[in-house]
């Protein structure tokens, strides 16, 4: 089997993006708004990135709302006190009630109510998830990277923002200063839906391509949010992952594209990856994987047809 088909097709975890964060938010909102936070317990000091106000100052305050700030979730307490949670790749949230198992391994912090608790957990040994305790709306606003909310902005604003930066489409969609709430997984799905290459440069798109991309972003994010809502129903989200079997291309390297049947391709870079369909998105051209194409040199296939020929020849 060729080297490029022996590589693992996915990494574990994945930063929760807008659809999962929306479902998390709604589940937390149903369980906490209007209730008093009895205490904040921090079990790992590295998770706490700011201490003004200190955790004790949040005790006895009422949860007024739950908000999303890009890829962060915010518990909003009376007196303009805020607990800002960023889950990163392996952080997750859990809801604990009386009779549940004792505090699970990997719990970084707990927000305790009278008879329940919201837990911030993280698997693995690296501690990337974070908790910021913030005083005042102005300080909270300063944490906003400024990306447009894709489900709240129109096509004109979306197009104008992309024209302001010179990035690849993949990078632009995942840059929190450009677009809010989109990461590695849903950028792959959006670009596949729009039939656009992940490495097209934002400033070189035709007007129709901007509209097509905005339409795809709204459709993909809305569809997945509704799908996850139905999946969770009234329970608390338990299986939050960037990899889902019914995604079109993300995490599906080597599997058939649902639109045309061609094998899904992948480019790996740094600690991320881009998944795409060469037939649907790049006119059959294979995009160069920096490390793998350098390794294979002349053996690197330049097109889907060449890849299929190499597969047949073993």
Domains and CATH numbers, the chain: 33-141 (3.20.190.10), 147-314 (1.10.8.50)
| CA gap 193, 75 in Å, rounded | 34
Task: Determine the pLDDT at residue 256.
Answer: 97
Rg, the chain, Cα only: 21
The kind and range of the H/E element at 85 are strand 81-86
Q: pLDDT band for position 24 (50/70/90)?
A: very high
Task: Determine the pLDDT at residue 140.
Answer: 97
> Would you call 21 exposed, middle or buried from its count of C-beta atoms within 10 A (0-12, 13-18, 19+)?
buried
Q: pLDDT band for position 9 (50/70/90)?
A: very low
Dump pLDDT digits (tens) for 119-173. 999 987 778 999 999 999 999 999 999 999 999 999 999 999 999 999 999 999 9
Task: Determine the pLDDT at residue 7.
Answer: 33
Task: Determine the pLDDT at residue 2.
Answer: 32
Three-class secondary structure of residue 111 per DSSP = strand
pLDDT over threshold 80, residue 86:
yes
Say if pTM beats, i.e. exceeds, 0.95.
no
pLDDT over threshold 50, residue 296:
no
Task: Determine the pLDDT at residue 308.
Answer: 52
């Amino acid at each position: 089997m060729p080297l490029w088909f022996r590589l693992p097709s996915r990494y574990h975890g994945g930063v929760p993006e807008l659809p999962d964060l929306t479902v998390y938010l709604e589940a937390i909102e149903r369980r906490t708004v209007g209730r008093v936070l009895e205490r904040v317990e921090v079990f790992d000091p590295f998770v706490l990135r700011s201490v003004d106000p200190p955790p004790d100052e949040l005790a006895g305050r009422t949860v007024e709302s739950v908000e999303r700030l890009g890829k962060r979730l915010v518990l909003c307490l009376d007196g303009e006190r805020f607990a800002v949670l960023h889950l990163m790749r392996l952080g997750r949230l859990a809801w604990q009630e009386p009779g549940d198992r004792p505090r699970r391994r990997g719990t970084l912090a707990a927000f305790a109510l009278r008879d329940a608790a919201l837990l911030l957990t993280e698997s693995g040994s690296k501690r990337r998830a974070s908790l910021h305790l913030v005083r005042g709306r102005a300080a909270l606003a300063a944490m906003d990277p400024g990306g447009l909310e894709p489900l709240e902005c129109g096509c004109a604003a979306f197009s104008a923002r992309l024209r302001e930066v010179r990035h690849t489409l993949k990078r632009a969609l995942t840059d929190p200063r450009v677009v809010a709430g989109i990461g590695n997984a849903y950028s792959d799905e959006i670009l596949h839906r729009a039939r656009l290459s992940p490495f097209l440069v934002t400033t070189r798109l035709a007007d129709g391509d901007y509209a097509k991309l905005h339409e795809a972003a709204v459709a993909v994010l809305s569809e997945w949010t509704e799908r996850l809502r139905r999946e969770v129903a009234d329970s608390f989200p338990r299986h939050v992952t960037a990899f889902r079997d019914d995604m079109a291309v993300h995490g599906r390297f080597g599997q058939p594209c649902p639109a045309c049947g061609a094998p899904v391709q992948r480019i790996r870079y740094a600690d991320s990856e881009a998944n795409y369909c060469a037939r649907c998105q790049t006119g059959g051209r294979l995009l160069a994987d920096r490390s793998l194409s350098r390794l294979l040199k002349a053996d690197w296939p330049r097109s889907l047809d060449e890849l299929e020929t190499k597969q047949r020849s073993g």
